[in-house]
Amino acid sequence: MSVNNEEFLSRQTNDPSFENIWQELQWRGLIQVSTDEAKLEEALSGDPINYYCGFDPTAASLHLGHLVQLLVLRRLQLAGHYPVALVGGATGLIGDPRQTNERSLNTRDTVEGWVDSLRTQIEHYLSFEGDNGATMVNNLDWTGGLSALDFLRDIGKHFRVGTMIRKEIVASRLDSDEGISYTEFSYQVLQGMDFMELYRRHNVTLQTGGSDQWGNLTSGTELVRKVEGEHVHAIGTPLITNADGTKFGKSEGNAIWLNPDMCSPYTFYQFWLNTADADVVERLKVFTFLGRAKIAEYEQKVADEPFRREAQRRLAWEVTSLVHGEDQTQRAIDASAALFGRGELESIDEATLYAAGSELPMAEQTDLGNAMTIIDLLVATGLEKSKSSARRTVGDGGAYLNNVKIQDPEQVFTKADALHGKYFVVRRGRKNLGFINLIPNEN
């Protein structure tokens, strides 16, 4: 799907069964903490307001935590409000405080490149057309030329150190052995200034973000109140966790990135497909535009026939299509089916096939000059522990190479037999798969 595909975006809708967007956000579990709820509901039910969310370029890509915020921005836009997406070219040079230790500061050139990358990603999720088209801003625009003296005199004087050190993340870092630097301690002042600048420049009266950012969010509402004498709002969304308490969005220690170069559409699809039954209904609420009646149907399917995993398949389709487009989603589905003999491996494009193979036990072979037999390949991928057991598997009719049953244990295979001249998919029985990647022999 191309960036800013208005036709695709036009198919997204909020659920009309709710009286207003505030009630839908609550039903979807997207409100953990906020400023005055009654006034917020009134504001979101009345004339359109301007609201924003900030995204710091601390990596080359956004991840699933950011996707929660992007979808909140989009839902509010569909309700008629005006989104402002802020990419933190300034705050990204600092980085918000982490729970554990100090961030490593990235170079200005690196952060500038990441700003461009994040802007491109954000454009994919919001409409920039129509009466309430989105606006994109960079907070470096109002901090880049600000002197230290002006920052301290005009902004810093409104912040009280006692209040700042009581912020949860700051307090936890102060109690740690490493402590917290003045640089990271000042982050909340910079984010507060963002809200004030956007209030002045774009009449922004609401900021959204993760609940772990609540101290930073309220630094903005307080600064606007002190300097401008106006009451503005903030919403903190819950941190998404799995039912077993583990952190959501991690796959073997790695974040699930939205950039396909950092997390392939196949891997992305499989992540959602593997959602636990206990989590899938909540994921449908947060990450899709399906209405509550349809989600209720899937909730019943999970209760009645969990083995069919219909809710997981719908979730994987919806979110992967949202992030990577329907074509890439279908490729991921086709690749998964083909791996298990329900499709043609030859029809799978090279990138998708490699992504799928990377999820399997994989062996790299530098030279097939002497050729290899199915026995060698079964052992190389770890599907069999010995050549004798591999030979028995072949004799029992359970050995496959690129979905073709191999009956002759002495048949040899070379690069000419490989998919895309590089890959072999080895299968033992119906479900045990391995992947061979042929890499050039440098000798």
- Cβ-proximal residues to 353 (8 Å cutoff; 6+ apart), any chain: 335, 345, 419, 420, 423
Asked whether residue 1 carries a pLDDT value surpassing 50, the answer given is no
Give me the amino acid identity at 147. Answer: S
What is the rounded CA–CA span in Å between residue 20 and residue 38? 13
**Long-range contacts: 402-407, Cβ < 8 Å, 24+?**
402/345, 402/346, 403/338, 403/341, 403/344, 403/345, 403/427, 406/374
Which residues are registered as beta bridge partners of 363?
436
Of 193-207, 221-235, 254-268, least confident by mean pLDDT is 254-268
Other CB atoms within 10 Å distance of the CB of residue 67: 21
Average pLDDT estimate for 390-410: 95
* CA gap 237, 260 in Å, rounded: 26
Task: Report pLDDT digits (tens) over 300-321.
Answer: 999 999 999 999 999 999 999 9
The per-residue pLDDT for 121 is 96
> CA–CA separation, 184 vs 282, rounded Å?
34
Buried/exposed 68-103: b ≥16 CB within 10 Å, e otherwise: bbbbbbbbbbbbebbbbbbbbbbbbbbbbbeeeeee
State yes or no: pLDDT of 258 exceeds 70: yes
Condensed to tens digits (0 to 9), the pLDDT of residues 226-240 reads 999 999 999 999 998
Is a pLDDT exceeding 80 seen at residue 195? yes
For the chain, report the end-to-end CA distance as a whole number of angstroms. Answer: 42
Backbone angles phi, psi at 149, to 5 degrees: -65, -45
Measure CA 262 to chain center: 11
Model pLDDT for residues 13-51, shown as the tens digit of each residue: 999 999 999 999 999 999 999 999 999 999 999 999 999
Rounded to an integer, what distance in angstroms lies between the CA atom of residue 187 and that of residue 101?
A: 15
Beta strand spans in 22-159 (E): 33-34, 50-55, 82-87, 135-138
Which range is least confidently modeled, 2-6, 287-291, 346-350? 2-6
Q: How far is CA 315 from CA 110, 285, 300, 342, in A?
A: 34, 10, 15, 22
Closest residue by Cα to residue 352 from 439, 428, 423: 423
What's the token pair of residue 338? 């083909």
Residue 244: C-alpha distances to residues 248, 253, 309, 437 (Å)? 10, 17, 19, 36
Among candidate residues 378, 380, 382, the one with its CA nearest the CA of residue 395: 378
Say how far apart CA 393 and CA 413 lie, in whole Å: 18
> What pLDDT is attached to residue 398?
95
Q: What mean pLDDT do residues 53-60 have?
A: 94
The candidate with the shortest Cα–Cα distance to 66, out of 78, 84, 54, 52, is: 54
Q: Tell me what pLDDT residue 370 has.
A: 63
pLDDT recorded at residue 80 = 97
Distance in angstroms (rounded) separating the CA atoms of residues 354 and 292: 37
pLDDT value for 442? 62
**Would you say residue 366 has pLDDT above 80?**
no
Among residues 357, 319, 320, 314, the alpha carbon closest in space to that of 335 is found at 357
pLDDT tens, residue by residue, 128-172: 999 999 999 999 999 999 888 998 999 989 988 888 888 878 888
Q: Is the pTM of this model over 0.75?
A: yes
Is the model's pLDDT at 66 over the cut of 60?
Answer: yes
At 305, phi and psi to the nearest 5?
-135, 65
Question: Is the pLDDT score of 186 beyond 80?
Answer: yes
Which pLDDT band holds residue 253 (cuts at 50, 70, 90)?
A: low
Q: What is the pLDDT of residue 415?
A: 87
The pLDDT confidence band at residue 100, using thresholds 50, 70 and 90, is confident
- Tokens (6 digits) for 403: 């979905």
What single-letter DSSP state applies at residue 93?
Answer: G
Mean pLDDT computed over every residue of the chain: 91
Q: Are 383 and 361 in contact (CB under 8 A)?
A: yes
Q: Which residue has the higher pLDDT, 191 or 8?
A: 191
For residues 203-224, give the mean pLDDT.
94
> What is the predicted pLDDT for the residue at 2?
40
Q: What is d(CA 443, CA 440) in angstroms, rounded to the nearest whole number? A: 9
Predicted pLDDT at 317: 97
Contacts of 355 (CB under 8 A, 6+ apart): 264, 265, 266, 267, 335
What's the CA gap between 146 and 189, in Å, rounded? 14
Question: Which residues have a Cβ under 8 Å from the Cβ of 190 and sit 6 or more positions away?
Answer: 90, 91, 94, 139, 143
For the chain, list the domains and their CATH numbers: 6-239 (3.40.50.620), 241-350 (1.10.240.10), 360-443 (3.10.290.10)
Angstrom distances, CA of residue 149 to CA of 29, 90, 157, 170, 195: 43, 17, 11, 24, 20
